[in-house]
Structures are given as C-alpha cells and as structure tokens.
Amino acid sequence: MRERISHALGRDPDERTLRDALKQQPNNIDAAIPLARALLARNCPKNALEVLDGVLLATPGELRALNAKAVVLDHEGRHQEAQELYRQALAEEPENPMLRNNLKLSLALEGKREAGDASPAPQADGRNASARSR
C-alpha cells in the first residue's frame, strides 16, 4: 500500500536530481549507480538496467557500470549474463577485488564455482545480491 502511494505521489526528489544529472551528462556513473540502486529498491530492475545501459552506451566498458549492471542481472536471476559482464570487466582489471568477489558470488548464487578455483564457494550470509559492493 505504501509503495502504491509513494508511486502515485511521484518520484523521490533525489531520483529526479539523479535523472537530471544523467540527462546533462549521460556518462555520469556517479549519478547512474545510485539511481539504479533506488530503482532496484523500488522493484524496477528493468528501469535500473535501462539507466546502466545508457551509461554504457555513453562510456562503453566502464567498469563500475558493468559491475552495477551485472549486480542487477544477478538480482533478477540472470546469472550467466551477469557472469559475462564480470568477466568482461575482469579482462580489463584482472585483480579488481570487487569484480572478483561479485563473480564468485554470482557463481555461488547459480550453484557453480569458477573452473580452477580451489577455494570454496562463498557462503550466502542472508544479504541480497543488490547489497553487494558496486
């Protein structure tokens, strides 16, 4: 009920500010990620993906945008697509701990482990995939 009322009253002013920032600078990753988080929190993953796709269109290969999009895809259960994005980003920065951790979490969510990875799969600790580092 609260969600309906909130939606009926319009968007959060912060969301509006973030959208305005993205209109002015389509490559503004510092606006895109918080906006995508807010959209995901409102259960609007499709909109979150659209925001992140817009940033990736403006700045292809932007690591933080790739990671954020992969997190949204994991949240939606689209683990293989997410893992492709993590691997794409890791090709640019192989030692990035955030990307490596998120790939491992994605594999664990899907019930797999990276080939050749002798370490055990990360244990779920009750956090949602959207709470992962971005």
Residue 31 maps to which CATH number?
1.25.40.10
Which residues constitute the domain of residue 15? Answer: 2-112
Q: Return per-residue pLDDT of the chain as tens, 134 residues.
A: 445 444 444 455 589 999 999 999 999 999 999 999 999 999 999 999 999 999 999 999 999 999 999 999 999 999 999 999 999 999 999 999 999 999 999 999 998 765 545 444 333 333 344 445 44
Number of folded domains that form the chain: 1
Q: What helix, strand, coil percent values describe the chain, rounded to 5?
A: 70, 0, 30
How many CB atoms sit inside 10 A of residue 88's CB?
A: 14
Does 85 map to a domain? yes
Q: What is the value of pTM for the model shown?
A: 0.75
21 assigned to some structural domain: yes
Q: Is residue 128 part of a domain?
A: no
Residue 122 lies in a domain: no
The backbone region for 116, taken as left when phi is positive above 0, alpha when psi lies in -120 to 50, beta otherwise, is left
Instruction: In whole angstroms, give the CA distance from residue 90 to residue 46.
Output: 24
Asked if the structure places residue 134 within a domain, the reply is no
Q: Determine the residue type at 133.
A: S
